[in-house]
Structure 1
């Protein structure tokens, strides 16, 4: 009789021991899975990496801003040429003043969409201010550099002492700017491309007026 009771008690202890071991194993596995998930999951308040679409959108925005900055810089360089020519040859004011006003309007329009994008943290950028369409015949404001550092003093524009030669120089500058705007059409977004095409066509008309006017 005692033997039977002893067997029952031993069987009970074995059952409890086996069940306890299984419970411990299950609990340990669950704790390990939770710890692994905590190690591999990004923190809720940490920085989020941009997805492919966001990276591409930023690339396109920066490329467009760089294109706009090049276009504005070219237009302002041409405007400086007009100002220097007018300062050297005031007698040409009646002929050049209407063309200068058009070039100043082009410089302003080309920069209206913005020439920078939001900088990354810890960096600074600067966008050139709008050109003055009705400023004096002196030098026009120089564009601020994209790096945000102060701009160096611009090199004075040299103008030929002969009025006809000065007009030829101005026509060459118009042609260079017009060709640059036309080349930028290949990578410009549609709306800006239409503006570039209009400015390039106007520049070509200015070249004709300057060259034909010089012969008169």
Structure 2
């Protein structure tokens, strides 16, 4: 017995409908997994503990460079000794911020105090008056170097203590920066 004649189909085929439904479902799942929905921007992910630690370390390095700047402004004669250490602190800040995923990192092109920069005023106690951008700097060069060495030592110690809470790569990076700080202490202390 012959088969009845088939009629031509009108409209989309079943395969086409299933494929488009699967594509729509995949798109919706992707949107849900990124935290965005139509008409609403994606939520920014919460930074991890490693990212927070590296961001904090970058800020600490920037602060350390600012301390170097304050001492250099008060004691231009220390430029040969402190400028390389300041530049290292700025480089550490850049790398730490980059690894933390920060959008803006400290400027490596921040100006070094020039020998012709005016020295900060000195108070009766022998310390330079604190400026808007920096701490009070002792009048004596040795005391100023000791202040920088103490700041480097404290920061290196704090970074070393933070290592146990970090993952592999961030811990290695912070350990390296802490070791560099310990070397800076040695270089500032050898009189």
Q: Same fold (TM over 0.5)?
A: yes
Tell me the number of residue pairs that the alignment of Structure 1 and Structure 2 aligns. Answer: 136
Aligned to 1:188: 166
Deviation at 1:135, TM superposition (A): 2.2
Deviation at 1:107, TM superposition (A): 0.9
Q: Distance in 1 between matches of 2:72 and 2:62?
A: 15
Q: Distance in 2 between matches of 1:72 and 1:211?
A: 24
Q: Distance in 2 between matches of 1:178 and 1:134?
A: 24
Q: TM-score, normalised by structure 2?
A: 0.63
Q: Distance in 2 between matches of 1:77 and 1:131?
A: 10
Larger Rg: 1
Q: Distance in 2 between matches of 1:189 and 1:195?
A: 10
* SS of match in other structure, 1:201: helix
* SS of match in other structure, 2:48: helix
Aligned to 1:173: 151
Q: TM-score, normalised by structure 1?
A: 0.56
Q: Distance in 2 between matches of 1:175 and 1:48?
A: 47
**1:126-165 alignment, distance < 5 Å:** 127=102, 129-137=104-112, 156-165=134-143
Distance 1:89 1:192, change over 3 A: same
Aligned to 2:67: 81
* SS of match in other structure, 2:164: coil
User: Which consecutive residues of structure 1, in runs of 5 or more, have no partner in the other structure?
Assistant: 1-43, 51-57, 116-126, 139-153
**1:23-102 alignment, distance < 5 Å:** 61-102=47-88
Deviation at 1:158, TM superposition (A): 1.4
CA deviation map 1:2-34 (0-9, x unaligned): xxxxxxxxxxxxxxxxxxxxxxxxxxxxxxxxx
